[in-house]
Amino acid sequence: MTTSPLVSNGWYLGAFSDEVGRTLLQRWILSRPVCFYRLRDGTVTALEDRCPHRRFPLSLGRLDGDVIECNYHGYRIDDRGSCVGVAEQPDVPRNAKVHRFPLLERDGVIWIWTGDPEQADPALLPDTSWLTDPGWTHVKGLVPLKSRHVLLVENLLDLTHETFLHPTSIGNAAVARTPIDVTSEGDRVSFTRHMVGIEAPPFYQRSMGLTSPVDRWQDGDFHAPGVFVLNIRLAPTGTEEPEGYHMKVMYGMTPETGTTTHDFFVLGRDYLTDDAELSAFQLQQQLAVMQEDVDALEVQEVMVASETVPMTESSIRSDVAGIRGRRLLERMRKRETPADGARSADRPRPVSGPAPTPTPAPAGVVGG
Ligand code: FES
């Protein structure tokens, strides 16, 4: 349990589209500083946020058209990460270059690929069309979490914790006592939980107007390494699919460092989509639930990090999905070569000598 595999070859939620504009945005991802900004034509780009001269953050520089001018000694870095000018001299150092990360902007989300650009396949991302489907509305946000990524993955893959951590909102005894079916395929772990004839938890009573008994479905999909989508349906007991109230919660679980995580979320619903008061209530409740998780995961992180004598965990049936998720991350990390986190422009090369041939990005992907 003390391992913390950080997988480089994967799409991570880097930012929401409305966070990135013509102001330079720094965000640390997998212990690397990233500078996001939008070009004049609206395209988003992300560069390693270290000036190739003396590592000053480019995000503290200024945008001149699509070029960043470093605010320390004036290196000018274009949107491909190449130095195209230096204030103090007419010629440009030929090795002055920073990594440009492959990006994919889709449905209001900017996904970033931190590993080998040649493996940045858009097909690895889940369907997010519901984020822009006019039949859905959503609330969203980013919660900082001082715990390692894998603890959040296991939290979401074992929702029996709702019974104990969230009893005043989304949890009740039915969650912990109802078993799940778990399936795995490729880099994905999924589970389903179907609760029949249960009491509606307080959050759903308030946001759906449901009275007990209800049936409740929780279908979770972990798209390793960084995305979890929970499909939720509640309906009066006996109601046939697809009737009822549908919600989805997507979590973008993006390691900031080995022991801190960006916990992005989007919560959507397909009913009462014009009800702003309901949206405000759901956002407040979602943040309250996530804070309960943060409080738990951060003390768990302290316990994990402070372990000097390795402890043997015990596990129960409800841990199946979480354990599969953890092992999947470990397998993905083992598949990577040491170079996967430092490919292309990051690879050290002599000051003199030929520049590397740029790696073509897969279709639909910007950068790389
Ligand atoms: Fe950027 Fe010197 S550190 S120009």
State residue 149 phi and psi, 5-degree precision.
-55, -45
* Same domain as 94, residue 60: yes
pLDDT above 70 for 326: yes
Enumerate long-range contacts of 335-338, CB under 8 Å, 24 or more apart.
335/9, 336/7, 336/8, 336/9, 336/115
- By most ligand atoms within 8 Å of CB, the mutation choice from 24, 47, 51 for ligand 1 is 51
Distance 338 CA to ligand 1 centre (A): 28
pLDDT tens digits, 24-38: 999 999 999 999 999
* Same domain as 145, residue 115: no
Distance 51 CA to ligand 1 centre (A): 6
Q: Could you tell me what percent of the chain has a pLDDT over 90?
A: 78
Answer with the residue of higher pLDDT: 362 or 125. 125
Give the β-pairing of 188-198 and 214-223: antiparallel
Segment 298-312 shows an average pLDDT of 93
**CB burial class (10 A; 0-12, 13-18, 19+) of residue 206?**
middle
CATH of the domain at 169: 3.90.380.10
* Same domain as 236, residue 93: no
Q: Do residues 265 and 249 lie in contact, with contact meaning Cβ atoms separated by under 8 Å?
A: yes
Segment 256-281 shows an average pLDDT of 97
Answer with the residue of higher pLDDT: 365 or 239. 239
Segment 165-190 shows an average pLDDT of 93
Distance 33 CA to ligand 1 centre (A): 16
pLDDT tens digits, 335-368: 997 766 544 333 333 333 333 334 445 556 777 6
pLDDT above 50 for 105: yes
Distance 346 CA to ligand 1 centre (A): 18
* Same domain as 98, residue 238: no
Q: Could you tell me what percent of the chain has a pLDDT over 70?
A: 91
- By most ligand atoms within 8 Å of CB, the mutation choice from 62, 75, 77, 89 for ligand 1 is 75
Domain that holds residue 115: 11-119
pLDDT above 50 for 160: yes
Of 119, 152, 176, the last residue of a domain is: 119
pLDDT above 70 for 81: yes
* Same domain as 231, residue 137: yes
- Identify the band that residue 89 occupies on the pLDDT scale cut at 50, 70 and 90: confident
Distance 21 CA to ligand 1 centre (A): 23
Q: From atom 3 of ligand 1, which residue's Cα is the shortest distance away? A: 54
Distance 70 CA to ligand 1 centre (A): 6
Q: Is 22 inside a domain boundary?
A: yes
Position 365 scores a pLDDT of: 76
Q: Do residues 19 and 9 lie in contact, with contact meaning Cβ atoms separated by under 8 Å?
A: no
Q: Is 348 inside a domain boundary?
A: no
pLDDT above 80 for 13: yes
Number of domains in the chain: 2
Q: Which of 297, 31, 256, 254 is nearest to 151 (CA)?
A: 297
Position 104 scores a pLDDT of: 98
* Same domain as 270, residue 250: yes
Q: Which residues line ligand 1 (CB under 6 A)?
A: 51, 53-54, 56, 70, 72-75
Please report the atom of ligand 1 found closest to the CA of residue 55: 3
* Same domain as 313, residue 235: yes
Instruction: Give the C-alpha distances (Å, rounded to integers) separating 162 from 104, 170, 232, 280, 295.
Output: 33, 7, 14, 22, 14
